[in-house]
Structure 1
Amino acid sequence: MPEGHVIHRLAAHLNSRFRGGPLAISSPQGRFETSLIDASSLALAEAHGKHLFMTFSTGHIVYVHLGLIGSFRFEPAADVWGQIRLRLVAGEEAANLRGPQFCRYVSPADMQGILDRTGEDPLREDAAPADLFARVGASKRAIGSLMMDQKMFAGVGNIYRAEALFRQGISPFLPGNALTRVEFDAIWADLVALMRYGVDHGRIDTVRDEHSPDAMGRDPRKDDHGGEVYVYRRAGEPCFVCGAPISVRKVEGRNLFWCPGCQPGG
């Protein structure tokens, strides 16, 4: 499932390239009614965690959640392929939505209901980390579990969860109510920086300069997710910092990666 930086990057591109003029809007797949918004203009695209909302000049709001297999790609307008649920065309560029978990119209009240159930997003200026710390501190759940809860840390996925905890030397099994404010603030600041980098560069890079392939004389990482990481999908490989084998455990249906040498306790 795409992490939050992907959705914010989509919203930024939609606002940059698809606002300001009438759009040709269709559903080649035929599974979304577009007559309500065809030939309208995009007023605003905004991301909240992994939720994308597009408000059109007609007043209609389209809610998109990519889910596990969805994609929203910017492609040449002449290049039409696959099962496209929603297609926005501006000049020679098209935004093509395929395989989303959700693509539907929502009312302002519906949208607010979704936002009320969404946690604090490190990429939003209106995030309230102090409120989130209070909720984390009231929970006995492990911080590694809380960080995957979209009602707590909106937009944070498996990669950012594993990497931010490693970078701060915090065990993913530490209970939320045992996390200090200093530790929480460090995690939050790291998420903000790492996810903003993801928005700007379109990839996840979490490795510090001293642990880069060039600095360590090692081969670059080869993975569909791209970027250099410390622990994610590196089970059994030596830690770049302490040399201990990276561990993995299935937790709540997802693989959790950590370094027992750099992240002890919990």
Structure 2
Amino acid sequence: MPEGHALHRLARRQQRLLGGQRLHVSSPQGRFAHEAALLDGMVFRTAEAWGKHLIHRWDDGGRGTAAVHRIVHVHLGIYGTFREEPLPMPEPTGQVRMRLIGPELGIDLRGPNACEIYSPDQLDALVARLGPDPLRKDADPEIAWRAIHKSRRAIGSLLMDQKIIAGIGNIYRAEVLFRVGVDPYRPGTGVTRDEFDAVWADLLHLMPIGVRRGHIHVVRPEDDHGAPAYSSDRPRTYVYRRAGEPCRLCGTAVLWAEMEGRNLFWCPSCQS
């Protein structure tokens, strides 16, 4: 599943490509057909991300109280993807949930976990149940700190809980805990304020790099050598997907376990 940086990067790109344009909207698959008919011919105004959720705002180009506004919520889940196509777009194949066609290009959305029109109240409810998103200027880390400080759950689980911090996935979880030297099994109540502040500061540093570059970069320049990355098209990591390999800093074998159904990686020496 894409982590928060990927959704923010996607929102910025769609804003740049589609913002202010009147679009043709359809649902070749049919599952979004009614909603697509409501959006067809409207103006795509903004795209923004809240954690792993993408929000599109539309209007009919009118002014004042007579203007019609609509909100589209997209959650890509594990399989969802947006694909850009030059015009004229080819005939849709497969499960295209939503097709957007503008003056210069088209975009197909396939396989999302959710693609739906939201009311303002539904959007408010979504935002209310999400933790602060480090990539948003309005993020309040005190909300996350209060939730972590009173919880007996492992910090490795808490960082993956979107109600506590929005946008964090498996890679950022593993790598930030390594970089600040915190054992992922330590309960939230055992995390000090200084350690939490270090985690938050590291997220504020690392996640914008992911937005700019399109990949998660976590290894400091002085450590960016030695064993290759876990995949040929990915930058090096400290522990993520490196189970059994020597830690880049101390040489201890990186450990793997399953935590709440997700793969967990850590160095038992550097994160003691």
- Report what 2:204 is aligned to: 192
Match of 1:258 among 233, 248, 266: 266
Q: Displacement, 1:60?
A: 1.2
- Report what 1:36 is aligned to: 38
Distance of aligned partners of 1:75 and 1:101 in 2 relative to their CA distance in 1, 3 Å threshold:
same
Match of 1:88 among 69, 94, 100: 100
Give deviations 1:166-224, integer Å, cap 9, x for gaps. 011111011111111111011011112111111101001111111113xx4x4x42527
Q: Distance in 1 between matches of 2:155 and 2:105?
A: 42
Q: Distance in 2 between matches of 1:179 and 1:95?
A: 44
Letter of the 1:36 counterpart: L
Q: Distance in 2 between matches of 1:176 and 1:224?
A: 35
1:4 aligns to 2:4 (yes or no): yes
Give the unaligned 5+ runs of structure 1: none
Q: Distance in 1 between matches of 2:49 and 2:143?
A: 20
- Report what 2:146 is aligned to: 134
Preserved contact between residue 204 and residue 228 of structure 1 (Cα < 8 Å): no
**After the TM superposition, which parts of structure 1 deviate over 6 Å for at least 4 consecutive aligned residues?**
none
**Per the alignment, in what secondary structure is the counterpart of residue 22 of structure 2?**
coil
Q: Distance in 1 between matches of 2:214 and 2:179?
A: 20
**Per the alignment, in what secondary structure is the counterpart of residue 151 of structure 2?**
coil
1:73 aligns to 2:115 (yes or no): no
Preserved contact between residue 87 and residue 95 of structure 1 (Cα < 8 Å): yes
**Per the alignment, in what secondary structure is the counterpart of residue 204 of structure 1?**
coil
Letter of the 2:257 counterpart: R
**Per the alignment, in what secondary structure is the counterpart of residue 86 of structure 1?**
strand
Letter of the 2:238 counterpart: Y
Letter of the 1:241 counterpart: L
Q: Displacement, 1:131?
A: 2.1
Preserved contact between residue 143 and residue 164 of structure 2 (Cα < 8 Å): no
The TM-score, its normalising length taken from structure 2, stands at 0.92
Aligned residues: 260
Preserved contact between residue 230 and residue 241 of structure 2 (Cα < 8 Å): no
Preserved contact between residue 238 and residue 248 of structure 2 (Cα < 8 Å): yes
Letter of the 1:38 counterpart: D
1:163 aligns to 2:175 (yes or no): yes
Preserved contact between residue 43 and residue 57 of structure 1 (Cα < 8 Å): yes
Q: Displacement, 1:82?
A: 3.4
Letter of the 1:185 counterpart: D
Q: Distance in 2 between matches of 1:185 and 1:262?
A: 19
Preserved contact between residue 27 and residue 85 of structure 1 (Cα < 8 Å): yes
Match of 2:121 among 109, 128, 152: 109
- Report what 1:210 is aligned to: 222
**Per the alignment, in what secondary structure is the counterpart of residue 14 of structure 1?**
helix
Q: Displacement, 1:84?
A: 1.2
Preserved contact between residue 203 and residue 225 of structure 1 (Cα < 8 Å): no
Preserved contact between residue 204 and residue 225 of structure 1 (Cα < 8 Å): no
